[in-house]
Structure 1
Amino acid sequence: MSGGFLKYLAIGAAGFLGALARYLITGMTRSVAGSAFPWGTLVVNISGSFLLGLMYAATAQRAIIDPQWRLVIAVGFIGSYTTFSTFSLETFKLLEAGNWPAATGNILGSLIVSLAAVYSGIALGRLV
């Protein structure tokens, strides 16, 4: 991929797909698990962290994907798919409502399990 405009267009298109995937997965998770706890955001944060770790490990030192396309995937798709800003707002709302156990669970789940997911993605990516 060459040229600035084409790169920006590709990042935007990937961002559209990532946002759509986020919306669909969050909605499906909410329909299964309910909305008392932000399970959809947690699932997206963990899976997005895994995908980013996998892509990083699988492509950082190998030329299996052109660096321009790595940028499109990481910034466009995964960048719009993961939702840490939503995580922050939802955690704030839980705290504001006095639901400290759910807020604590959301913080620990999003941070610790996402870090473990990045580690797992990197470990798997290094095997590829």
Structure 2
Amino acid sequence: MAYSILAVSLGAVVGANLRWMLSLWLNTAGHAIPIGTLVANLCGGWLIGWLISYFSQAPHLGPEWRLFAITGLCGALTTFSTFSIEMYGAIQAGKWVAAFGGIALHVIGSLSMTALGIYCFHTLRG
């Protein structure tokens, strides 16, 4: 149990810091929607698809690796709460096109990137 907690915690540290750095780098006032959050969610969607495929082919790896990568890293990198408050803020500001465009980009984009991650894994694996 202690190794599992440590694996999730370390993965979360990596994922949260990646998300924070993406926000610092990409969230500028000039964008209608916060691009850093979108990139984090799209990358996280791709990564979780790839990782799920990878771990299904790597039974020799202990469960802590899956906890580190999927639960910790991807869980902290992707952020539904930040996405929700950003889209709510756009709605409150009357920016309907930006809000619903952002919602569509996040949801459809994340699902598409997850499918792409699975596809990439299987294509590269052969």
TM-score (norm 1): 0.88
Contact 2:16 2:76 in 1 (8 A): yes
CA RMSD of superposed structures (Å): 1.6
Structure 1 unmatched ranges of 5 or more: none
% same residue: 35
State the 4+ residue runs in structure 1 displaced beyond 4 angstroms: none
Q: Report which stretch shifted further, 6-15 or 111-120.
A: 6-15
Residue 55 of structure 2 is matched in structure 1 by 59
CA deviation after TM superposition for structure 1 residue 112, in Å: 0.6
- Of 1, 5, 9, the match for 2:6: 9
How big is each residue's C-alpha offset from its partner over 1:75-97, in whole Å with a ceiling of 9 and x where there is no partner? Answer: 11110110111111111110011
CA deviation after TM superposition for structure 1 residue 68, in Å: 2.4
For the residues of structure 2 that align with 1:103 and 1:119, how far apart are their CA atoms? 24
Residue 119 of structure 2 is matched in structure 1 by 123
Residue 74 in structure 1 maps to residue 70 in structure 2: yes
For the residues of structure 2 that align with 1:10 and 1:22, how far apart are their CA atoms? 18
How big is each residue's C-alpha offset from its partner over 1:35-92, in whole Å with a ceiling of 9 and x where there is no partner? Answer: 5421111111000000000101122243263332112211111101101111111111
Corresponding pairs, count = 124
CA deviation after TM superposition for structure 1 residue 13, in Å: 1.5
Structure 2 unmatched ranges of 5 or more: none
